[in-house]
Structure 1
């Protein structure tokens, strides 16, 4: 027959093990799907910024070409300006993402200390 004191000892040990596992896992971590969703949002944001820069550059260049009657010159020039502006905006967004990640990492290390 099993001793009731032995059963209490096992349940106490089991509870302590569950607590250690939960502490090791870190319950405050967000699920992988949320992180993937955030990364996908940032990727789409960067693509949209690039396409918007190209589109705006094309629109301004085409408008100036129609206005002045110099068909491809301003359009090509402003497409390159739009590309440069889109890439610059993408780089700014990437730097912003990196700064947020570094801040989260620093907060995480502060909490561990």
Structure 2
């Protein structure tokens, strides 16, 4: 068994590593992954904001009018509906952007 490594085998290994590295650099999968995560968080925040705003308005009106919990329930449901509608609009916007990007390529 020789003490020195075979230079031809090392050169071949270095070439294979360089090819694998360049092939890996061509794929921007991390950018797409972060973009999708941002869109998902945006949709979650829109839904939670709708629920929170509806709950707050309903609770405030219930406190002022003394009709607890009817207005809180109604406005929480309305907030949920508004959040879902906003999520659907965001999804349609993302779909239009993706279609425009596909047509441009």
TM-score by length of 1: 0.70
| Shift of residue 47, structure 1, vs aligned partner | 0.1
Per-residue CA deviation, residues 29-61 of structure 1 (Å, 9 max, x unaligned), is: 760000000000000000000000000000000
| Shift of residue 93, structure 1, vs aligned partner | 0.2
| Shift of residue 80, structure 1, vs aligned partner | 0.4
The aligned residue for residue 48 of structure 2 is 51
After the TM superposition, list the runs of 4 or more consecutive aligned residues in structure 1 that deviate by more than 6 angstroms: none
Matches for 1:9-48 after TM superposition, within 5 Å: 31-48=28-45
CA distance in 2, matches of 1:97, 1:49: 15
Matched, 1:70 2:64: no
Per-residue CA deviation, residues 60-109 of structure 1 (Å, 9 max, x unaligned), is: 0000000000110000000000000000000000000000000000001x
CA distance in 2, matches of 1:30, 1:49: 31
CA distance in 2, matches of 1:100, 1:30: 20
TM-score by length of 2: 0.75
In angstroms, what is the RMSD of aligned CA positions?
A: 1.9
The aligned residue for residue 101 of structure 1 is 98
The alignment covers a number of residue pairs equal to: 84
Any unmatched runs of 5+ in structure 2?
Answer: 1-21
